[in-house]
Amino acid sequence: MLAGERIVDRTQQSGMPKLSVDGVSMAFGDHTVFKGIDLDVQAGEFLCLIGSSGCGKTTLLNLIAGFMPPTEGEIKVSGRVVHGPGPDRAMVFQDDAVFPWYTVLQNIEYGLKIRKLPKDERRTQARELTELVGLGGREDYYPAQLSGGMRKRVDVARALSVQPEVLLMDEPFAALDAITKARMQEEFLRMWENRETTVVFVTHDIEEALFLGDRLILMGENSIVRETKVPFERPRTEEVRTSPELQGMRREVIEYNRSVTRDGETGT
């Protein structure tokens, strides 16, 4: 399918949402992280999640991934209630999660190996992904021999390789320099446009959120405080990033966030 055809509003498709978060609350002991979160994500939608540090973004992703049950409420993927982790919801972690005992290539082909794909097939796919995240030539490096940003890219490639229905990404590009970051964002968009994966993307970078996402969710103290639709057409180009519309929206989100949070920062 051509990327250019995808100007449908994916945030408002009829039918069952790909991912639905239903009245979910989470507390660790007597510390409530959030309460009564409701969120529907349509198939193929790119949802960005922002909010100040410690507001519970990672916790929400962990719940969707199924690492722990919510204290209240229910999470469904394609109508099935989430009871534990599975390859339909791959995750790019905020912390270092690349296996230190595997090389770059072994890490990237991990999910394919688990799925018992024949060796040459998974090698081909893994090599493609390695190129895609710009790590060609480093296939045999161990993670300890890579930079922090390179490790993050390995993690991204590993999550992509399993072709999940929902891809959960926790600040995947935060550790990258501006140029690599922009390149990764664009490459990632190209790929996503071709694959129709549903993405939940956590970031502190509002510009990144507006450039990548279809919808932007702002999390406040303990719930969702604002939802913004991102109107830019796809495929998105460099011009979108620097467009006055995007910059205007960015300012607006920051202003709004300032008005609802005490310190007025999103943690960036």
Ligand X SMILES: Nc1ncnc2c1ncn2[C@@H]1O[C@H](COP(=O)(O)OP(=O)(O)OP(=O)(O)O)[C@@H](O)[C@H]1O
Per CB under 6 A, 266 contacts ligand X: no
Number of residues that bind Mg ion (CB under 5 A): 2
Whether 23 and 73 have beta carbons less than 8 Å apart is answered as yes
Per CB under 5 A, 58 contacts Mg ion: yes
Strand order in the sheet with 72-77: 31-41, 19-28, 72-77, 80-81
- The 10 Å Cβ neighbour count of residue 47 is 26
Per CB under 5 A, 62 contacts Mg ion: no
Q: Which stretch binds ligand X (CB under 6 A): 47-55, 134-142, 145-153, 228-236?
A: 47-55
121 binds, among ligand X, other proteins, Mg ion, none (CB under 5 to 8 A by kind): none
Judged by beta carbon, residue 61 or residue 126, the one nearer ligand X is 61
Alpha-carbon distance values, 229 to 28, 112, 184 (Å): 32, 35, 23
Per CB under 5 A, 185 contacts Mg ion: no
Query: Interface mask (CB under 6 A) for ligand X, residues 76-115, using x and -?
Result: ------------------x---------------------
Indicate left, alpha or beta for 196 from its phi (over 0: left) and psi (-120 to 50: alpha). Answer: left
What the block records as the tokens of 41 is 């994500």
Number of residues that bind ligand X (CB under 6 A): 13
Binding site for other proteins (CB under 8 A): 65, 67, 84-87, 89-91, 93, 95-103, 110-111, 114-115, 142-145, 155, 158-159, 161-162, 164
Q: Which residues contact 102 (CB under 8 A, 6 or more apart)?
A: 110, 142, 143
65 binds, among ligand X, Mg ion, other proteins, none (CB under 5 to 8 A by kind): other proteins
